[in-house]
Amino acid sequence: MNADAIRARDAALGIFWHLAPQAPAPGGTLSALTLAVKDNVDVAGMPTTAGLAAFEGRVASRDAPCVAAIRRHGVTILGKVAMHEGALGATTDLPRPCQNPLRPGFTPGGSSGGSGAAVAAGFADLAIGTDTMGSVRIPAAYCGVAGLKPTAGLVPRSGVVPLSPSLDHVGMLARTPRLAALGLQAMAGEDAADPASRPAPRGWHAVPAEPVVVHGIRIGLPQPALDATVEPAIRTAWDAAAGRLRDLGARVEAVPVPGWEPSPTRRAGLLLIEAEAAALHEALIGDPAAATPGFRAALAYGRDLTGIRLARALFRLAEARGGALRALDRCDALLLPTAPQRAFAHGSPPPHDQADFCAIANIAGLPALALPWPAADGGLPASVQLVGHPHAEALLVGLAEALSAP
Amino acid sequence: MNADAIRARDAALGIFWHLAPQAPAPGGTLSALTLAVKDNVDVAGMPTTAGLAAFEGRVASRDAPCVAAIRRHGVTILGKVAMHEGALGATTDLPRPCQNPLRPGFTPGGSSGGSGAAVAAGFADLAIGTDTMGSVRIPAAYCGVAGLKPTAGLVPRSGVVPLSPSLDHVGMLARTPRLAALGLQAMAGEDAADPASRPAPRGWHAVPAEPVVVHGIRIGLPQPALDATVEPAIRTAWDAAAGRLRDLGARVEAVPVPGWEPSPTRRAGLLLIEAEAAALHEALIGDPAAATPGFRAALAYGRDLTGIRLARALFRLAEARGGALRALDRCDALLLPTAPQRAFAHGSPPPHDQADFCAIANIAGLPALALPWPAADGGLPASVQLVGHPHAEALLVGLAEALSAP
């Protein structure tokens, strides 16, 4: 789709905040593909606002290292897409609601809402998102596309407006898991400016070299997710995905995840995010023109909370991290819903539990893949999530392909 | 040395707080050895005070898992030894000063001061210590013995009075690195009650299977330590150890450790410790009978600090951790001083920088070994420290043995 066609169709959707395709580098393995970039990731010559009024008018002078890396692979960078204000939230409704291409009037999710919507609308083959507690996977789920959050450290966060360095990840959305993996793979690498970034292990790829043999693979269904309340269409999809893996010969069993309580753990993560975001963006708190009252209140909360409260949150996060690693001691991957619900209408109150199933992978630094799954009721799609051992992106992609095969 | 002989000699030293040898389990690889246990680690039937007045009279009903594990190897557990109040400090001077057996009137260091002193006095072959920012390695250094802090997660901390779960480690002190490694090895293993504990990797041992071939080994001298001010005797010892490794064929070179600033990084660690200790021991803060004013003030500080301050400390710790891992990308082990100074007289003000060179291994979760080194002036010994890749304890022990060989 050329830029004029995108612009015409996007008038009703509000996905692109800045649409100005750049000539691609010649050659490269991704030369046939187009890329949309979340507006908190620097692209040379384009604005980077992170959805914050305070950052309006900022233009990046150079690419974030992850963008520079994928650019070298020959993608055409189309522009910058909508996101939830400051990456702290999952509706993507400001300055005007970004529409879910699957059902206008509904949210595409967030915070990488524009990234999910750009792929779902067919505007871009690939879309860079960021994911602090699910911000790549939730919009992937709501928009019916694939979303891949890598192992912590694999994609450098330099040149990305930070929210919470302890939990922030850069990830990739695309129509298929393989496309998302191809794009993700092109962004991996160490960068000196991100202290947590690390070289990929020797021989690492996100794209599986050959189809995964599902027979004998051990899949864990996390008991705390089994015990949680989810929308019936989500439960049905999860059951169906588990059944499909069983049919393919996987050993699918419930696994305990000691110390992980989806809602309290997610709230502990939010407390850490609020404190870290306050430390990074303190100047915005007192400036009514810088951000919405809600965003500034969240940061003020993080600024003012006591050491004891934050320490207790850290204890809870350490428990959940340990529990996730122990669950993976018993299996090759975890299968659970991406979000407890499907997309909902803009304007309806966002459910508190949107990130309940996603946060654990950020907390534990584990790779996680959101895979769309048709809903039994024929409505908006559901989504299931695979979570793997560190650097096992390719296994997740292979399992997702086995799950999606006709 | 039997209990009566220890008791007689210890009257002037004040090392044992509780001396009551327990009959060893029959057989076992450590059956010829005696063990002293720091008083923050549970031994069934013995007190556990952690040096806090608040905990006086507490008796453990069962062994901490690390004690239970080493007990099964047949050691004779002698009793509980002195430590700095609450493990937060490095002089071990309350309720009366524990004496350094190498020079009475001087501190054995801390917080595991009694553990270092028990080994130096010949009272015990092995001594369990805990190490949050150097509390195993500093007393090992001051007392002229070996101290081994393992990779994070290798020895469970359950049954140990916590100070800062993000940084706490259990370690081992002994006359030689090999003995310390033998004792440490016997404590390794996962325990469900410590969420950060993990099974040792398959085939892991702390004791090297054969002598390490030093030729070709890459040793990094951390640039921030080279730039720091240390006592001349410490610098001379460090130079001598580096020279010895060079003579043995190692490639010894300065390495950058981006993001590690020994004093500011240690202060960031202290802030996290204060907040976590406050969260764990909040009830002690307001009770003048529970602990000294200094201890309670440190916890009150941690209780009351803002989210922003703690978040900024977390950023600094993440930077130092990343820097340490990057330094190890360039070499097999780091060589640096254990502490910037040797033991000092009780009553003189403790130097602020005691833990400056030790904290980095806790922050990064890396194994670290303190090796005594004779001082050129013939006075109290110096100590050098080896820091390795995760689970490379055996390499550190092998290097230390090569360094100590005549």
Nearest CB to B310; choose among A195, A310, A325 = A310
* Chain A residues whose beta carbon lies within 8 Å of the beta carbon of residue B260: none
Backbone angles phi, psi at A328, to 5 degrees: -75, -15
Q: Are the CB atoms for A136 and A149 separated by under 8 Å?
A: yes
* Amino acid (one-letter) located at B229: T
Instruction: Locate A48 and state its tokens.
Output: 């980077």
Angstrom CA distances, B330 to A155, A202, B318, B323, B397, stand at 21, 16, 19, 11, 20
Interhelix angle B393-404/B177-187, rounded to 10 degrees, is 160
Domain-embedded: residue B268: no
Would you call B276 and A314 a contact, using CB atoms and an 8 Å cutoff?
yes
> What pLDDT is attached to residue A343?
98
* pLDDT tens for each residue of B340-391: 999 999 999 999 999 999 999 999 999 999 999 999 999 999 999 999 999 9
Best probe of the A interface among B166, B197, B273, B314, by most A CBs < 10 A, is: B314
Residue A319 sits in a domain of what CATH number?
3.90.1300.10
Domain-embedded: residue B291: no
Three-state DSSP state, B210? coil
Contacts of B273 (CB under 8 A, 6+ apart): B88, B132, B133, B163, B164, B167, B302
Distance CA B203, CA A312 (A): 35
User: Which helix (H) or strand (E) element contains residue B116?
Assistant: helix B113-120
Nearest CB to A302; choose among B165, B305, B307 = B307
Residue positions of A annotated with a catalytic role: 38, 111, 135
B379 to chain A, minimum CA–CA distance in Å?
41
Number of structural domains (chain A) is: 1
> What pLDDT is attached to residue A342?
98
Cβ-based burial of B288 (10 A; exposed 0-12, middle 13-18, buried ≥19): exposed
Backbone angles phi, psi at A220, to 5 degrees: -100, 135
Helix and strand numbers (H, E) in chain B are 13, 11
Domain-embedded: residue B356: yes
Nearest CA in chain B to A315: B165
CA atoms within 13 Å, Cβ hemisphere of A294: 8
Establish, for the pair of chains A and B, how many residue pairs have beta carbons separated by less than 8 Å: 110
A202–chain B Cβ distance below 8 A for any pair: no
Among all chains, which residue has been given the structure tokens 């993990």?
A: B198
pLDDT tens, per residue, chain B with 406 residues: 899 999 999 999 999 999 999 999 999 999 999 999 999 999 999 999 999 999 999 999 999 999 999 999 999 999 999 999 999 999 999 999 999 999 999 999 999 999 999 999 999 999 999 999 999 999 999 999 999 999 999 999 999 999 999 999 999 999 999 999 999 999 999 999 999 999 999 999 999 999 999 999 999 999 999 999 999 999 999 999 999 999 999 999 999 999 999 999 999 999 999 999 999 999 999 999 999 999 999 999 999 999 999 999 999 999 999 999 999 999 999 999 999 999 999 999 999 999 999 999 999 999 999 999 999 999 999 999 999 999 999 999 999 999 998 8
Distance CA B355, CA B139 (A): 11
B166–chain A Cβ distance below 8 A for any pair: yes
Instruction: Locate A168 and state its tokens.
Output: 């922030």
* Chain B residues whose beta carbon lies within 8 Å of the beta carbon of residue A192: 258
> What pLDDT is attached to residue B7?
98
> What pLDDT is attached to residue A406?
80
Nearest CB to B308; choose among A197, A282, A329 = A282
Would you call A315 and B192 a contact, using CB atoms and an 8 Å cutoff?
no
CA atoms within 13 Å, Cβ hemisphere of B207: 12
A369 to chain B, minimum CA–CA distance in Å?
25
Distance CA A300, CA A289 (A): 15
Of A331, A396, A330, A319, nearest to A364 (Cα)?
Answer: A319
Instruction: Locate B402 and state its tokens.
Output: 């090569």
Weakly modelled stretches of chain A, pLDDT under 50: none
A302–chain B Cβ distance below 8 A for any pair: yes
DSSP character string of B130-180: EESSSTTHHHHHHHT-EEEEPPTTSS--TTB--S-TTT-EEEEEESSHHHH
Of A351, A67, A46, A88, nearest to A228 (Cα)?
Answer: A351
**Sign of the CA dihedral B48, B50, B51, B54?**
negative
* Chain A residues whose beta carbon lies within 8 Å of the beta carbon of residue B194: 322
**How distant is the alpha carbon of residue A159 from its chain centre?**
17
Three-state DSSP state, A324? helix
A303: containing domain: 1-406
Distance CA A92, CA A219 (A): 33
> What pLDDT is attached to residue B385?
98
Would you call A307 and B310 a contact, using CB atoms and an 8 Å cutoff?
yes
Instruction: Locate B16 and state its tokens.
Output: 């044992």
Would you call B329 and A199 a contact, using CB atoms and an 8 Å cutoff?
yes
> A113-124 in b/e burial notation, b at 16+ Cβ within 10 A?
bbbbbbbbbebb
Pairing of strands B169-174, B126-131: antiparallel
Would you call B319 and A195 a contact, using CB atoms and an 8 Å cutoff?
yes
Q: Are the CB atoms for A178 and A185 separated by under 8 Å?
A: no
Best probe of the A interface among B276, B310, B317, by most A CBs < 10 A, is: B310
* Chain B residues whose beta carbon lies within 8 Å of the beta carbon of residue A305: 306-307
> What pLDDT is attached to residue A78?
98
Angstrom CA distances, B31 to A222, B41, B63, B70, B74, stand at 43, 21, 18, 10, 4
Q: Are the CB atoms for B181 and B397 separated by under 8 Å?
A: yes
Domain-embedded: residue B103: yes
* Chain A residues whose beta carbon lies within 8 Å of the beta carbon of residue B307: 271, 274-275, 278-279, 301-307, 309-310
Of A383, A389, A370, A405, nearest to A184 (Cα)?
Answer: A370
A303–chain B Cβ distance below 8 A for any pair: yes
- Please tell me which residue in B112, B135, B166, B383 is annotated as part of the active site: B135
**3-state SS string over B82-102?**
CCCHHHCCCCCCCCCCCCCCC
Nearest CA in chain A to B305: A307
Helix and strand numbers (H, E) in chain A are 13, 11
What is the maximum span of chain A, computed from C-alpha positions, in angstroms? 58
> What pLDDT is attached to residue B406?
80
A154 to chain B, minimum CA–CA distance in Å?
13
> What pLDDT is attached to residue A1?
86
**Sign of the CA dihedral B14, B18, B20, B23?**
negative
pTM of this structure = 0.97
What is the maximum span of chain B, computed from C-alpha positions, in angstroms? 58
Distance CA A200, CA A182 (A): 15
B147 to chain A, minimum CA–CA distance in Å?
27
Nearest CB to B195; choose among A198, A302, A318 = A318
